[in-house]
Amino acid sequence: SKQFTAFAITMLANQGKLSLDDDIREHLPDVPDFGNTITIKHLIHHTSGLRDQWELLAMAGWRLDDVITKEHIMKLVRHQKDLNFAPGDEHLYCNTGYTLLAEIVERISGQSLRQWTQDNIFKPLSMKNTHFHDDHEMIVKNRAYSYSPLDEEGFKKRVLSYANVGATSLFTTVEDLLKWAQNFWGAHVGGNKVIEQIQEQEVLNGGEKIDYAFGLSRDEHKGLKTLGHSGGDAGFRSRLYLFLDQKFAVAILSNLASFNPTQMALKVADIYLADKIKEDESKANKSEKKIVKVDSAIYDSYTGKYKLPLGLLIITKESNRLKGEWVGQAKFELFPKSETKFFLKIADRQITFHGDEESKVNQITVHMTGKDMTGKRITPPTITQDLLTEYQGDYYSSELRTIYTMVAEDFKLIAKHQRHENQILTYSDKDHYVGEKWFFNNVHFTRDKDDRIDGFLLTGGRVRNLRFDKQ
């Protein structure tokens, strides 16, 4: 969806209807003044610092299979008081920005994003089976519904009832996406200037160039430059890859949550572009990760909880195997490449355990592509009912208009909400607990001048330090 929204904005800019450097409040005066200028370009490149709409809705008690309209999201934005970071300082994927871009298209043109893209993009490119789906009650002939696999045999339906566009809700086919791809080397719609502009990457305030362009990510596959984007809502999974130098494109659309369209798209590209592919020498020369044999007794010294920027990582030993688990997510196995270094098969990640002078393991490093994260082992105190009772009470967010109740039961701290199942919070360190849900990841309790609990700051993946006050 996002590449079409960004394309619409770029076309309007080239028509002189707006500037990408405009303060968004020139077009959306109902967006709060956060004390920092947010430009249209910030929205495009996910550098605005705005909090993500899906996470805010979930924190507020919404389910993502609820009917969610544009106005619901706009109301959330209007009540926000803070940003995740100063605009331009970081790149953090934010769906809110693309909903606002759709709203800007509507206010500038007087047409909905659906109608504007129909008149200016889809119809000129003969994309007859493509539209932005802004009416959740509209019947679409031959539409695909989405599914998830059950633990046992069979499937279950994943409901999608969105009535908002810009960040999501593009209905299309692989045939129509081919026509869209061909426009990148034909420039029939938008012209060469727009085609070139939507491939431009952004530079952060600190001078770092990011991979994200205009609703498209720039990357490389086996020596070939790529442009594209993935998509996923409910059980839908999609991927579009453009190999512009080879005038080749792969579009994968799926309605099964467990399907990996990126992997499949690259397999297709490998077949069709076999004579063009240049294996990255550094990767080709790397030997495959090999499992070495180690005494599993050493795993006992690694088990425990480690606090990292991504959350709490729990290491356990099960049947002489080492397992890892980010709180609230599925467990994964760690395979030894040495006594202290392990790797994952399900992702390109490695983990190193570090010991102190007495050989006691007290630190861990998670190695990801282009980034390392180090965390310390934590030793939770003995949890007493008195310790947990201090946190009990109702906590209210004026930004989300919602309440969470903290309850101490059976030596556990539980967060309760009228629309969510109860969440058991895991102790991390002083006044810091970790939740089990993607939107309720880190809870930092705060204290007043008399050292009494007066609220907490809630952080998820794309929302940081949202304030809840104790009532």
Mean of the pLDDT values across residues 40-50?
A: 98
Say yes or no to pLDDT of 400 above 90. yes
284 confidence band (pLDDT: 50, 70, 90)? very low
Read off the pLDDT of residues 341-388 as tens digits, 9 standing for 90 and up: 999 987 778 999 998 766 689 999 999 866 788 988 887 667 778 889
Whether 415 and 423 have beta carbons less than 8 Å apart is answered as yes
pLDDT of residue 387: 82
pTM for this entry: 0.90
Beta strands 170-171 and 155-158: pairing type? unpaired
Cα–chain-centroid distance for residue 340?
31
Whether 431 and 447 have beta carbons less than 8 Å apart is answered as yes
| DSSP, residue by residue, 404-423 | EEEEEETTEEEEEETTEEEE
CA distance 243 to 413: 51
Identify the three-state secondary structure at position 370.
coil
b/e map 304-336, b = 16+ CB within 10 Å: bbbbeeebbbbbebeeeebbbebbbeeeeebeb
Retrieve residue 241's tokens: 């890859």
- CB count in 10 Å sphere of residue 34: 17
Retrieve residue 273's tokens: 């572009």
What share of the chain has pLDDT > 70, as a percent? Answer: 96
The residue assigned the tokens 């047409």 is 111
Say yes or no to pLDDT of 444 above 50. yes
- Relative orientation angle of helices 95-109 and 70-78, to the nearest 10 degrees: 110
pLDDT of residue 285: 43
Q: What is the mean pLDDT of the chain?
A: 93
pLDDT of residue 50: 98
Say yes or no to pLDDT of 280 above 60. no
Retrieve residue 407's tokens: 């309850």
pLDDT of residue 416: 97
Mean of the pLDDT values across residues 162-187?
A: 97
Helix (H) or strand (E) holding 181: helix 174-186
